[in-house]
Amino acid sequence: MKKIGFLLLLILSFGCKSSTVIINNQNPSENVIPKASKSDVVTSEKLKSIVSFLASDELQGRDTGSEGIEKAAIYIENSFKQNNIKSYFKTYRDSFNLKGVDAYNIVGFIEGNDEILKNEVVIIGAHYDHIGSAKKVNDDVIANGANDNAAGTSGVLEIANYFAASKNNKRSIIIALFSAEEKGLKGSEHLAKKLKEQNINLYTMLNFEMIGVPFTDRPYDAFVTGYDLSNMSAKINEYTNSNLTGFSEVSKKYDLFKHSDNYAFYQEFKLPCQTISSCDLSNYDYYHHVDDEADKLDYNHMASLINKVIPAIESMCNTPTKEIKMSNE
């Protein structure tokens, strides 16, 4: 692996086993969260189907403003419609202009089922754009962006589908798929400012980035960017009764907290807004590379990770008080 070149790309833009869900209820008398049924568990096959479409040559690398990203947007919108996920705005599209290019985040909404807590919001996000093309390899120039970030997008879509079906969320959930992440986090920047202007009562934001391959030498499944800024990772592990997330030296060294779509929300709200990822320099050679293809990903790992994190999100949405806090509080 050419770590130096790969590292420089990662710094510029951190675009970067099916399992049974086990839930650790923290306040059984007040906050009983039922275990997900077998029919609710996310499958590796479904994740592979989503990634295979988003990272197909037909979408030409999903560059912002391209025909390919329009197809990706329609696919996401159709997924929302089929699963009865409402639009947060008048339509699913949160449109903005990027140097003369029309761009749009896709934003869904799952209202909370508690009359009071539904006024508080949890945002679950991932970027669905990519860079379009990259250095030619064997006559291939399409940068399909399977791990970066069709993988994260597939996970968020399945999380959204789970909550739309289970309705097990007292707090409301905004599902945000961002465009123009690869152009400098412009999509999340636009949406974060817009929601701040609306004065939403944001609790926390959890972003998913490059979750397509597992670590083989870590005591955890994924790392949380900005690990020391809040108790996010500790709470995820507490809620899942596991060592699901942990600290990454690479993430801290290169401040990856600032290089994905969580950062704009942190800047606007100064609340725990962090990214979950299972990929850094040690375990994937194809960042912004034409070989970042759907067949390179580990879908059993992805399904396991998403199935494990769903109970944590359920707890975030259902605890009587806001338990995830900045470290300085």
CATH number, residue 157: 3.40.630.10
User: Does residue 139 register a pLDDT over 70?
Assistant: yes
* Chain center to CA of 261: 9
Whole-model pTM?
0.90
Distance CA 291, CA 246 (A): 28
Residue 327 domain-assigned?
no
Handedness of CA 315, 317, 323, 326 (dihedral sign): positive
The CA–CA distances, whole Å, from 46 to 34, 50, 159, 296, 298 equal 23, 6, 12, 16, 13
The length of the chain, given as a count of residues? 329
State the helix-helix crossing angle for 67-82 and 44-54, rounded to 10 degrees.
150
| pLDDT band (50, 70, 90) for residue 148 | very high
Q: One-letter amino acid identity for 44?
A: S
| pLDDT band (50, 70, 90) for residue 321 | very high
Identify the pLDDT of residue 280.
83
Domain that holds residue 241: 40-318
Q: Which two tokens stand for residue 14?
A: 């951190």
Residue 308 domain-assigned?
yes
Q: Which two tokens stand for residue 222?
A: 């994924």
Q: Which two tokens stand for residue 236?
A: 């995820």
What letter would DSSP give residue 285? S
The average pLDDT across 130-138 equals 97
Sequence-distant (6+) residues with CB within 8 A of 171 are: 112, 114, 117, 118, 120, 121, 122, 203, 316, 317, 318
Asked whether the beta carbons of 134 and 290 are under 8 A apart, the reply is yes
Residue 35 domain-assigned?
no
Percent of the chain residues topping a pLDDT of 90: 85
Q: What is the pLDDT of residues 230-250, one digit of tens each?
A: 999 999 999 999 999 999 999
Residue 26 domain-assigned?
no
User: Does residue 251 register a pLDDT over 70?
Assistant: yes
95-120 in b/e burial notation, b at 16+ Cβ within 10 A? Answer: ebebeeeebbbbbbbbebebeebbeb
Q: Pairing mode, if any, of strands 140-143 and 201-208?
A: unpaired
At 101, which helix (H) or strand (E)? strand 101-110
The average pLDDT across 96-105 equals 96
**pLDDT mean across residues, the chain:** 90
User: Does residue 27 register a pLDDT over 60?
Assistant: no
Q: Which two tokens stand for residue 195?
A: 């929601």
User: Does residue 97 register a pLDDT over 90?
Assistant: yes
Residue 7 domain-assigned?
no
Identify the pLDDT of residue 322.
98
Tally of domains within the chain: 1
Classified as helix, coil or strand, 245 is strand
Residue 30 domain-assigned?
no
Cα–Cα–Cα angle for 320, 278, 304, nearest 5°? 65
User: Does residue 258 register a pLDDT over 70?
Assistant: yes
User: Does residue 178 register a pLDDT over 80?
Assistant: yes
User: Does residue 13 register a pLDDT over 50?
Assistant: no
Q: Which residues pair with 177 in a beta bridge?
A: 106, 126
